[in-house]
Amino acid sequence: MSKPEFVYVMYIASTPEKVWEALTSGEFTRQYWGGRTIESDWKPGSVVRHIQENGESDWQGEILEVDPPKRLAYTFGVNRSERPSRVTFELALFGPHVKLTLTHDEFDEGSKVFPAISNGWPAILSGMKSLLETGKALYPEWR
Regarding beta strands 37-39 and 85-94, do their DSSP bridges make them parallel or antiparallel, or are they unpaired? unpaired
CB contact burial 93-104 (16+ within 10 A = b; e otherwise): eeeebbbbebbb
- pLDDT at position 60 is 95
Domain ranges of the chain: 6-134
CATH class for domain 6-134?
alpha beta
Distance CA 64, CA 67 (A): 10
- pLDDT at position 81 is 83
Per residue of the chain (143 residues), give pLDDT as tens.
457 799 999 999 999 999 999 999 999 999 999 889 999 999 999 999 999 989 999 899 999 999 999 999 999 998 778 999 999 999 999 999 999 999 999 999 999 999 999 999 999 999 999 999 999 988 656 55
